[in-house]
Chains A and B, each alone.
Chain A
């Protein structure tokens, strides 16, 4: 039995137990004990975390790592299969190059789980999945597939199909194309549920987990597109998260009433009329205060993965309590990914994924990862 003992650190549990000093034991890759004096335990590899902050491995709930490759010129886009407005069956795992340097950057930043999603070039883009960041084969690294049904509003699908004079050329067209496909899938599902024989349709099959409420709609939207996203998600009784959500501060009441979850980011882009008109990281505090489950995301490699700390920092600069901010990169995204039974907090039985920091990331600018632990194994140690 392999044991890893982390002693003397400040444990940010992300549970009702809060944050306190104590030891933590991982056995065979799972968290076995949290808190108390465990120094008597024999036969364990030890990490002295005195003076350090121990967090659950961080989670970025929206990335395209390995699907976009900007490490060479010309860049590679394996994230957008822009051959039809709705491509729900596109399986993001097949697009990922697990050897890209961004995975190593994740590990060096204490980010042990990421959601990888198809892009937003279509109205329905495909199936995102969650994966651990350390590994050699993306299928083995996968924690959960599918994690959501990825849907996109606004400029991205418009700018794909508009120049081809195909639907959707407009926002009206996006709402129309999305509803039509969802209705088709719903009818397909109902026929199947009634035991009727229906010809197998891979695209419609891919939409069933979301229509059955097993995974959420993951809806790329900004500004007023949020209202369309909310309306359609409610109409089909789906769970959903609003992705990017620039301008959320103008729609707080609608978001709260709708029960939406929010993946906010990336920030740091320039302001321009249209979708970039309002970049309001302060919205994450307002939404959190109102009980909305919020995650902070990078959209990496659009924003570099290591910029997650800066985004967390900008939320803190706007007055967000640092402990609440840490939840937005741990337990909150774990809930959005529906993997909170395995990840996102320091609790007995969960995966032994830790980010051990000197300083609090997103509060202290100099905060640094000292150790990253994935499934009980030290996968990074500061040199």
Chain B
């Protein structure tokens, strides 16, 4: 169901693109029927931190990396959304029906994520919600972007100096005097706009959480390859974790990562999810499921993992009122697998529905 529950032999009734009813032995109502006997049915999977669909490929300047200044919180990823670039990935063939299009790691504050559906459709239907979170980065990304030309930030001190400055200025200004950037920061301070910071190493994660805790910000960490060494801080902030692509550039070897620590994070109630991206750069649709499988191999319960792939991601994106579970009233975004994809490589997507429409079937 996306919330941890597994309900064998239940039926779903879909109407007008929504889930109308979930239950056992629902009477036929004259609708088209899909026989999913023997299959595993999930809410469509969600990657909350995707770069594909907003890069503007092929290109020398990526559309999700506005690095004309280190602080560009006012940027809206909606305007970089290339629907064809996203469509080309065929994310639905790996069961992924929604993604958060997110800024890369060049800027310290890179812009606001837009949540979209993966299959082609009219833009107004495809966009689930804009301004869902503010993405920033405290890794080497901004340092490599700006420091090389002797601009701030050259160091992690510089990164946090910039963050501290814009937050402190915003707090000290009358609301009507705030500029466009500060108006966005004010929303973060008010808890209306979560902050998602890319942090990989323990010291980066701890620094990000120290900054957020001092202001009681709603914060999530993306990439997070050393989260397992920051559990007390993560739990104290109620910070969410978006596990970066583990198959890219030896991340597990590099960080000596202990993925089984996800269990402790999840039992503390912290939201968690997976993403195709690593360091602000997404790979193909397959790696999303590979992350989930790595977590399963590390001993995390399969249904907790499904929760991360669905409702956990929806929570982080702030679209859990629309997607992420198979509950009445939610969008009919559904993936039907021949077997449990977290448990078996032989699992194939038999059908995928978005807004109640069959967009793919074997």
Contact = CB atoms under 8 A, between A and B. Distances in A.
Question: In this complex, which of B88, B90, B144, B254 has the most chain A Cβ atoms within 10 angstroms of its Cβ?
Answer: B254
A94 interface: no
A353 to B, nearest CB: 21
B252 A304 contact: yes
Contacts, number: 105
Interface in A255-309: 267-274, 279, 300-307
Question: In this complex, which of A100, A105, A302, A365 has the most chain B Cβ atoms within 10 angstroms of its Cβ?
Answer: A365
Given A102-B253, A317-B348, A366-B343, A269 B283 contact: yes
Contacts of A274: 58
Contact of B286 (A105, A302, A314): A314
Interface in A39-63: none
Given A102-B250, A304-B248, A304-B253, A365 B293 contact: yes
Interface string A84-112: 00000000000000001110110000000
SS class, residues of chain A in contact with chain B: loop
Given A73-B144, A279-B284, A268 B247 contact: yes
Contacts of B88: 271-272
B253 A368 contact: no
A279 B283 CA distance: 12
B69 interface: no
B168 interface: no
A307 B290 contact: yes
Given A302-B249, A305-B253, A270 B282 contact: yes
B284 A271 contact: yes
Q: What bracket does the count of chain A residues touching chain B fall in?
A: 35 or more
Interface in A304-333: 304-307, 310, 312-314, 316-317
B250 A368 contact: no
Q: What bracket does the count of chain B residues touching chain A fall in?
A: 35 or more
Nearest to B294: A306
A302 B247 CA distance: 9
Contact of A368 (B52, B283, B297, B348): B297
A269 B286 CA distance: 8
Interface in B212-240: none
Contact of A366 (B252, B254, B290, B297): B297
B247 A310 contact: yes
Contacts of A365: 293, 296-297, 342-345
Interface in B241-270: 246-254, 256
A364 interface: yes
B155 interface: no
Interface in B309-362: 342-348
Contact of B290 (A268, A271, A301): A268
Nearest to A266: B247
B89 interface: yes
B47 interface: no
A362 interface: yes
A300 B250 contact: yes
Contacts of A102: 250, 253
A251 interface: no
A272 B58 contact: yes
A81 to B, nearest CB: 22
A139 interface: no
Contact of A301 (B250, B284, B343): B250
A363 interface: yes
A273 B344 contact: no
A71 interface: yes
Report, nearest first, the 10 A-B pairs whose CB atoms are least far apart: A313-B345, A307-B247, A101-B253, A301-B250, A105-B253, A310-B290, A365-B293, A70-B249, A73-B140, A268-B287
Given A303-B247, A306-B253, 18 more contacts: A70-B250, A71-B253, A101-B254, A101-B256, A105-B250, A269-B283, A271-B284, A272-B58, A300-B250, A305-B250, A306-B247, A310-B293, A313-B293, A316-B345, A317-B346, A317-B348, A365-B297, A365-B342
Interface of A: 70-71, 73-74, 100-102, 104-105, 267-274, 279, 300-307, 310, 312-314, 316-317, 362-368
10 contacts: A70-B250, A73-B140, A267-B284, A267-B286, A304-B247, A304-B248, A304-B249, A304-B250, A306-B294, A365-B296
